[in-house]
Amino acid sequence: MAPCGETLGWFSPRKKPSGLTIVAGKEDGKFALFSPTRRWSTPTLDDGAPVTSASQSEEPEVEADPFHLYNPGCNDLDAIEYADSLEKGLSREIVTEFTLPMESTSKLRRHTVLKSDDGLEYRLLSDQYAFLLYARVCVEARRVDIFGYDPKDDVSGRPFDPSRPAFTLSYNASRTDWRLTKERCEHCGLSPKHLSCRCSGKQQVAYVRHSTKKLGEAVSNIMEVNIPGFMDDGSPVVWCPRRGAPDLAGSDGGGHEVKKLVTKLPEWNEEVQCLVLEFAGRTVTKSPQNFQLARSDDLSEVVCQHGKIGPNTYSLDFKRPLSVIQAFGMALSTTFLA
């Protein structure tokens, strides 16, 4: 798989009897569909570029299903419809690399998050300020849609379809429980609807729960995170309900390994009369969105830190066992913290 910013190689097209052109390429041992007319590359976000608010999508609330996971009237594309969308030029970027855990290293990989003035749009940039992911908050629908390309990018020629996010971060009415799902499961994304998990929970990528705790004279925000564990070969478990994976929110993985991350708590400082937390390599300003996460079995090692470094700019640094989308989802889950 090509790293971010590099170009994928060409693949041989294959014609179906219907005339649809499907390009099959070998990707991490699986076959995926590609657009036959373009290569994939990572655009760069210009610093200081104006950001406009995206219109919010609407969908009816279902209190019995706060995460909108179980929808018997699911109208998602099946494999044939998806192939047809490729021919129409509506193909989505390959987002598998964003679900892979970071390489083993002792250092945190540095990233930057840019927030729009209205707080409804976010862009994730690499350490070289190259664009990675775009997210927009749909308040009425209680979700955050995440895309693999930037809607304001006019150079690529790729049409922006707000109805087709790569990932969805859903939250409940109290905004305490957040669930990150991948729109196309790596195991059954191209299967017929009745044989896929798209209408029965989707592939879960992370679960985040927020709470508060009194520390000294202040109250600290607490974050608890569950993410899928790893296979024997080091690849992450694909948390697909069709393959027996239970709700990732549960403490028991039902035979599947669950990795748990918890907040590294700040300490009350009498001299400055506030909670203090040291951010390695970063100079951050006070914000309720600031957090550090560590493994539940080893609180001494920070695996993710998110801190405010400008009026609408945040640092997001992380390492294994997290992937890019998991870290970005955790940062987005702090959107409404105050």
- How do residues 256-301 score in pLDDT, each as one tens digit? 689 999 999 888 777 877 778 889 889 999 899 999 999 998 888 9
CATH of the domain at 212: 3.20.90.10
- 34 located within any domain: no
Tokens of 256: 């599947």
Q: Say if 39 falls within a structural domain.
A: no
Range of the domain at 225: 93-334
**Is 11 part of a structural domain of the chain?**
no
Does 237 map to a domain?
Answer: yes
| Residue 178 resides in a domain | yes
pLDDT tens digits for range 205-255: 999 999 999 887 788 899 999 999 988 887 888 998 888 888 899 866 555
The verdict on residue 67 lying in a domain is: no
Q: What is the mean pLDDT of residues 172-191?
A: 89
Question: Within 13 A of 179's CA, how many CA atoms are on the CB side?
Answer: 19
pLDDT at 332 over 50: yes
Contact call for residues 177 and 66 (beta carbons, < 8 A): yes
Segment 53-73, tens digit of pLDDT: 444 444 444 344 444 444 444
Question: How many domains does the chain contain in total?
Answer: 1
Instruction: Classify residue 81: in a domain, yes or no.
Output: no
Burial of residue 249 (CB within 10 Å: 0-12, 13-18, 19+) is middle
Amino acid (1-letter code) at residue 261: L
Render pLDDT for 122-157 as a digit per residue (tens, 0 to 9): 999 999 999 999 999 999 999 999 999 888 875 555
Dump pLDDT digits (tens) for 310-330. 999 999 999 999 999 999 999
Residues 91 and 300 sit within 8 Å (Cβ to Cβ): no
- 227 versus 198: the higher-pLDDT residue is 227
pLDDT of 336 reads: 96
Q: Omega into 311 within 30° of 0, i.e. cis?
A: no
**104 is a domain residue:** yes
